[in-house]
Amino acid sequence: MEFLIMNGAGNRFAVFDARTTPGFALTDAQVKAICEPGSAAMGPLGADQLIVLRDTPDADVFMEIRNRAGFAVGACGNATRCAAWLIMEERGSDTASVQTEADVLHCTRAGDYRVAVDMGEPRLEWQQIPLKEAMHTHHIDVKLGPIDNPVLHNPGAVSMGNPHCVFFVEDFETVKPHLAGPMIEFHPLFPEQVNVGFAKVEADDRIRLKVWERGVGMTLACGTGACAAVVAAHRQKRTGRRAVVEVDGGELLIDWLDNNHVIMTGPVELEGRGTV
């Protein structure tokens, strides 16, 4: 079967169109084999996630998301832009709706190979993220390092259809996200594991972000993570409600509107095609 190789700000996907083959399914082992860096399907970079497009009566397309470890994910902002762009190109339209397990997301063309996605409202209650116990989520009790001088502390917790824990840091050398991320991902406070963001606020409207994605590892970009970073930063009075988030793969513009919806705008790239 043929598939597309796409990325959004460097977040890389294997995209299978199963709208005409509703019985198409992949096992966890097959997903891992396709997405693994160095695989015959995806080459040395591999894929952060595998996407399957399916028909649905509730939107223009349903997007099934599986991460590199094989398990299902409720949301992916960068993949949503890719799926929406494909539908817009196919139909010659400037709008598209994409259904995920989390929600139906409405998308608009924002230029050549650029798409804006209404990511909906952030979920901020502890049960919605979810956390194991009740607490306020603008600061949660998660620390890493010595009790009297932790390297990481007081993150914000946000769900954008998937759980995020966002730490605010002075630099990435001290924190070492690739080492800290896996320790926080499996913290007992997060029953569904968690995506871990490391955000350096550079200005009221600019954030530098690195994300350890659950089931994947370090990624060049995470769209829901960028949304979560701006929401968490504003709740902690670190930034305004609109900011450019610079990730390793590019830049995403995040706007937390007064109606509580988060709009994410960013690039789409079609790298090529593959077969399995």
Q: How far, rounded to the nearest angstrom, does the alpha carbon of residue 216 sit from its chain's CA centroid?
A: 11
Whether the Cβ atoms of residue 161 and residue 120 lie closer than 8 Å to each other: yes
Indicate the burial class of 233 (C-beta count within 10 angstroms; 0-12, 13-18, 19 or more). buried
Whether the Cβ atoms of residue 117 and residue 77 lie closer than 8 Å to each other: yes
Task: Catalogue the active-site residues.
Answer: 76, 222
Task: Give CA–CA dist 55/70, Å, rounded.
Answer: 22
Mode of pairing for the β-strands spanning 195-203 and 163-168:
parallel
Whether the Cβ atoms of residue 15 and residue 53 lie closer than 8 Å to each other: yes
Task: Give CA–CA dist 92/142, Å, rounded.
Answer: 47
Mode of pairing for the β-strands spanning 49-54 and 61-67:
antiparallel
